[in-house]
Amino acid sequence: MPLVTTKQLLLDAQAGQYAVGAFNVENMEMVQAVVTAAEELHSPVIIQTTPSTVQYADLAYFYANAKVAAERATVPVAMHLDHGSSFELAMKALRTGYTSIMIDGSHVSFEENIAVTKAVVDACHPSDVPVEAELGKVGGKEDDLDGGEGGGYTIPSEAVEFVERTGIDSLAVAIGTAHGVYKGTPKLDVERLSEIREVVSIPLVLHGTSGVPDEAVKECVKRGICKVNYATDLRIAFSKGVNEILAENPDTIDPKKYNACGRKRVKEYVMSKMQVVGSVGKA
């Protein structure tokens, strides 16, 4: 089916008390793995790319891969710009055909975040493309995203004002997760999440979930998270698959051989996380 937006996917998840997995991709094989996993588990799914990923190969390349995969699938697939770093990049993704846009103004002041977010919302909504934004600061470092040590937790009262003034469709909250690889087990402020859920009606998003224990993710979904982002662990899975083949036969020269193993490992990982977020059978 054609690519869909994240709007109804997340509203359905909110109503059904599950979440939709959003998986960052870096190449064609990872796109194939994510969509194949969704097909086999009859799950809705979100494919997403970060600014550094699209800088590597351009928005159009990744959009084309996702478009073809979605058209061949029988489950809903959305294409999302993750951590859009500027109004200009958000508009380029919109013009390219992305069906969901995130603008990340979490690194500027509250008022500046509102201003840039509202500008993106005003530009995207006439085309019925939903917008995600972030309030608070998810720590860690991944690609060109540097959240430092984190600690900028989302304040519930600010979340209410932010949502009202911007008109966003979903909100990424900072409750203790971080981008990249964790040095220890993250401690999530789930009570804060519940407080935000009580005062904010739109779907909530959890970033920096690679490495977070599955039980903790399930608890966040139970408390209102509707979209769960996974990135780092997909890269790890793909790289492990490639390295398996090269370790067995260092003279392998056909990229299809080791890429296929990487694709297999990503698919296995994605299927396991669809089980965790509760989206299996929801397509």
Report the CATH number that the domain containing residue 128 is assigned in CATH: 3.20.20.70
Encoded tokens for 227: 């979209």
Name the pairing type of β-strands 139-142 and 145-146.
antiparallel
User: Amino acid identity, residue 147?
Assistant: G
User: Total domain count for the chain?
Assistant: 1
> In the annotation, is 82 catalytic?
yes
Encoded tokens for 157: 């009262």
Q: Are 165 and 114 in contact (CB under 8 A)?
A: yes
Per-residue pLDDT of the chain (283 residues; tens, 9 = 90+): 999 999 999 999 999 999 999 999 999 999 999 999 999 999 999 999 999 999 999 999 999 999 999 999 999 999 999 999 999 999 999 999 999 999 999 999 999 999 999 999 999 999 999 999 999 866 544 455 444 444 589 999 999 999 999 999 999 999 988 755 545 567 899 999 999 999 999 999 999 898 899 999 999 999 999 999 999 999 999 999 999 999 999 999 999 999 999 999 999 999 999 999 999 999 9
Q: Say whether 180 counts as a known binding-site residue.
A: yes
Q: Is residue 282 in some structural domain? A: no
Q: Say whether 231 counts as a known binding-site residue.
A: yes
User: CA-based diameter of the chain, in Å?
Assistant: 59
Whole domain around residue 104: which residue ranges?
6-277
Q: Are 73 and 1 in contact (CB under 8 A)?
A: yes
Report the alpha-carbon distance of residue 251 to residue 15 in Å, rounded. 52
Q: Is residue 1 in some structural domain? A: no
Q: Is the pTM of this model over 0.75?
A: yes
Catalytic residue among 12, 58, 82, 122: 82
Query: Vertex 209, ends 81 and 229: CA angle to 5°?
Result: 25
Q: Say whether 229 counts as a known binding-site residue.
A: yes
